[in-house]
């Protein structure tokens, strides 16, 4: 198995956490998102992932999986222990909702592509970019803070899909200096996950391509 990754990508970070939690070994192929205009745009990588984003997960049979949520659900279906989703359908929906707030609402608006578009086409300076970034994190975190039920993880005593998505988003929030004082439950979940080896192993500074 190969994971096409970039150490600072929060979507790739999610995939690294998921793989570590499942105890799976894989090779990392670094796709630098900013060097030389972005290696994701190279023809060789575009042939692997037409969306030109990370992560992509190449299976041993030659299939390539795209999108972090799809990759994580594949891993959960093929390696069911430990499970990423609870057994109860309603509980599963709650976990998925928080994961999707992050992966579908916060992250797409704060990805490198949209941020660079703001710079190039709207002449946004870094202060404006940071205000844009903070706005969407706050909007999402306000909802997540109300929805999660730490105990100590986002939805109880077992780590799941919501935690895997939340930790990289908290990392990014700190990187962009988004105040986290209004979110004690989110901070508590992040702290609980930080004690787990899989989350520590997956941190950006511990990734094989870390700079």
> Mind giving me the DSSP string for the chain?
-EEEE-TT-HHHHHHHHHHHHTT---EEEE--SSGGG-GGGSHHHHHH-TT--S-EEE-TTS-EEESHHHHHHHHHHHS-SS-SS-SSHHHHHHHHHHHHIIIIIIHHHTSHHHHHHHHHHH---HHHHHHHHHHHHHHHHHHHHHH-EESSBTEESS--HHHHHHHHHHHHHHHTT---TT-HHHHHHHHHHHTSHHHHHHSGGGSTT--
Q: Given this model, what pLDDT does residue 199 score?
A: 98
pTM: 0.95
Q: Is 120 exposed, middle or buried (0-12, 13-18, 19+ CB in 10 A)?
A: exposed
Confidence at 113, pLDDT banded by 50, 70, 90: confident
CATH number of 2-82: 3.40.30.10
Q: Given this model, what pLDDT does residue 211 score?
A: 84
Question: How many Å apart are CA 78 and CA 81, to the nearest integer?
Answer: 9
Domain ranges for the chain, please list them: 2-82, 89-198
How confident is the model over 181-195, as pLDDT tens digits?
999 999 999 999 999
Q: Given this model, what pLDDT does residue 13 score?
A: 98
Q: Given this model, what pLDDT does residue 125 score?
A: 94
Kindly tell me if the per-residue pLDDT of 111 is higher than 90.
no
Confidence at 173, pLDDT banded by 50, 70, 90: very high
Kindly tell me if the per-residue pLDDT of 121 is higher than 90.
yes
Q: Given this model, what pLDDT does residue 205 score?
A: 96
Confidence at 43, pLDDT banded by 50, 70, 90: very high
Mean pLDDT of 164-169: 98
Mean pLDDT of 108-125: 91
Mean pLDDT of 161-190: 97
Mean of pLDDT over the chain: 96
Question: Which CATH architecture fits 89-198?
Answer: Up-down Bundle (1.20)
């Amino acid at each position: 198995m190969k994971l096409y990754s970039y150490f600072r990508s929060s979507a790739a970070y999610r995939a690294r956490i998921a793989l570590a939690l499942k105890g799976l070994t894989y090779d990392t192929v670094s796709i630098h998102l900013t060097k030389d205009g972005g290696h994701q745009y190279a023809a060789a990588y575009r042939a692997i992932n037409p969306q030109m984003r990370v992560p992509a997960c190449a299976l041993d049979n030659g299939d390539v999986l795209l999108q972090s949520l799809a990759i994580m659900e594949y891993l959960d279906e093929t390696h069911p222990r430990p499970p990423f989703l609870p057994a109860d359908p309603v509980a599963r929906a709650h976990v998925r909702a928080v994961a999707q707030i992050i992966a579908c609402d916060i992250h797409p608006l704060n990805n490198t592509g949209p941020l660079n578009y703001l710079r190039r086409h709207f002449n946004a300076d870094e202060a404006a970019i940071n205000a844009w970034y903070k706005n969407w994190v706050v909007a999402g975190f306000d909802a997540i803070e109300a929805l999660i039920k730490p105990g100590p993880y986002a939805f109880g005593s077992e780590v799941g899909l919501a935690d895997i998505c939340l930790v990289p988003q908290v990392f990014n929030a700190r990187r962009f200096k988004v105040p986290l004082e209004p979110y004690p439950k989110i901070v508590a979940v992040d702290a609980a996950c930080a004690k787990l080896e899989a989350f520590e192993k997956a941190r950006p500074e511990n990734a094989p391509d870390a700079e």
